[in-house]
Structure 1
């Protein structure tokens, strides 16, 4: 099956550049943006060889997984553009709800899982701040937003989405999974088709007046770990407490033991047993 856009995405003017193998879908999208591409372009590949994750970490995908990047161009300020990660997470969660069976097998919940579903309950698709999509408490997908200024003014943003369809990384400091190991018979093309359609609904919410507030509400409804113990790794320190909410700017709010509320714009978030690791262990991850 070949990659294809949903009929709605095509009608809305989205375009597709599909590859079997690519170094990085984000790099390809940004290069096209710098060269004058107007945006609304999905760059997709079944294998990504030299992609990057957050903080410059390697983000390669095995053949059969999904690497997808949407090129967005415009004049909005970059702070507003940063919210595209929340739009992407909600879009992917909606797409997975559309393609996966309602009664999902639960082989994900494990010691240390971030917000894992209790054994015997259907595996929940949830969102982990700032940019992970979980299934049953294990990481199924990650999102990375990269931006570049354009010579003609404005910006190009690459909304990168990587989904573990047939395999997932091993030896991680947190649980991860993929659709195949859960017995879910879907391929990268299925997931992308649903994603290209779900994006339209979510970005429509975001673009409308009051859209940021609606995106925040929708994200909180899917959030993992609210009300639970959390440890957030920051440069040189770990902030511990209870995950209270995300604020109006979608910053992560931790209520510490003394009642202080700390608002975090970037950091590595750990719930459950993973959050109890020693600080010096986290520094090496």
Structure 2
């Protein structure tokens, strides 16, 4: 953001009630005319402010802002917290911490990403205060080859955290990194690595979850999506959710460091939405219809194509309607 005044303005408007230009100007120490210009700038963060003559300004609905001190307490000393209200990407921040030699684990979170990333170079929609954006930096031994199945284990951990935070939610997993509810995408996992090919590896596990996103904020999404506000009766607070997801990922990484993917294979199979379903396999050689047949011990996808079972380590799948 351009200045702390922008954040102050958002905090003033976060309750969803009308605030007069005079009230906002006094809070920010600027004129009423300057307030109007500053309000217009919030559009770049995915926030549209309503203006009504005689009433003032308000957001269409309240924002559930993160509470960093509460997050620190939730982490209970198990990780260092890095919070910036706005950043380019929590994964990029975590990789920068890895390059600087920061001790791990570190939990990185934010209200808004200006350049959020998904898999295969896609943009991840990251409007201010609407969703969850969190990355965990963790050091593992054994080199890159020991990390097979890590994105699947992360999906299991996030699904478990969601189930505990919102018991009426029934998320499923789509290989290799998507969380779905009722066939619509709720979130995803992005794994990025730094370090030595055969030695110590700094792993960044990034998670994005849709929490309370309006249609305008999701306008650039090219697939069916859902958020927690639509998917469950009583969504948890974003602060509670960040803490739950971060701790679940740290627990998963502790276990993965000792035992690899093996302990997560059965839990993944229980959540696997693709198994024995017709899918479209998207890989380097193009798209091909197939039938998913579960995952291998290293997390690779087993698929049946023309009656032959193959193992796929890269790419992604989409479910096909029968």
Aligned to 1:279: none
Instruction: State which of 86, 92, 111 in structure 2 corresponds to 1:21.
Output: 86
Q: Secondary structure at the match of 1:205?
A: helix
Once residues 198 and 49 of structure 1 are traced to their aligned partners in structure 2, the CA distance between those partners, rounded to angstroms, is: 26
Task: Supply the distance in 2 between the matched residues of 1:19 and 1:158 (Cα, whole angstroms).
Answer: 17
Larger % of helix: which? 2
Identify the residue that residue 132 of structure 1 maps to in structure 2: 178
CA distance, structure 1, for counterparts of residue 71 and residue 314 of structure 2: 32
- Quick one: which of 268, 272, 294 aligns to 1:219? 268
Q: Look up the match of 1:48.
A: 113
Aligned partners of 2:281 and 2:315 also within 8 Å: yes
Partner of 2:60: none
In the alignment, which of 208, 217, 226 is matched to residue 177 of structure 1?
226
CA deviation profile, 1:227-275 (whole Å, cap 9, x unmatched): 111111122422222111111111111112x3211211121311133xx
| 1:281 match | none
Residue number in structure 2 paired with 1:117: none
Partner secondary structure for residue 126 of structure 2: coil
What residue in structure 2 maps to residue 230 of structure 1?
A: 279
1:194 equivalent among 218, 236, 244:
244
Distance of aligned partners of 1:268 and 1:169 in 2 relative to their CA distance in 1, 3 Å threshold: farther
Q: Deviations over 1:163-198 (max 9, x none)?
A: 111117346443111112345433321211211232
Q: Tell me the distance in 1 between the aligned counterparts of 2:297 and 2:149.
A: 11
Q: Give the alignment partner of residue 66 of structure 1, picking from 121, 132, 135.
A: 132
Q: 1:245 aligns with which of 272, 285, 294?
A: 294
Report the CA distance between 1:46 and its aligned residue: 1.7
Measured on the aligned residues, the alpha-carbon RMSD in Å equals 2.3
CA positional deviation for 1:135: 1.7
Question: Are residue 272 (structure 1) and residue 320 (structure 2) matched?
Answer: yes
Seen in structure 2, the aligned counterparts of structure 1 residues 171 and 21 have a Cα distance that, compared at 3 Å, is closer
Tell me which structure has the larger Cα radius of gyration.
2
Which residue does the alignment assign to 1:120?
none
Q: TM-score, normalised by structure 1?
A: 0.79
> Is 1:30 aligned with 2:95?
yes
- CA shift for structure 1 position 201: 3.8
Q: Given the alignment of the two structures, is residue 208 of structure 1 paired with residue 258 of structure 2, yes or no?
A: yes
Task: Give the Cα–Cα distance (whole angstroms) in 1 for the partners of residues 80 and 275 of structure 2.
Answer: 37
Contact 2:138 2:253 in 1 (8 A): no
1:95 aligned onto 2:161: yes
Give the paired residue count. 249
Q: Which moved more, 1:170-179 or 1:47-56?
A: 170-179
**Normalising by structure 2, what TM-score?**
0.71
Contact 1:240 1:254 in 2 (8 A): no
Whether 2:188 is the aligned partner of 1:142: answer yes
Q: Counterparts of 2:72 and 2:255 in 1: how far apart (Å)? A: 19
Judge conservation of contact 1:6–1:197 (CA < 8 Å) in 2: no
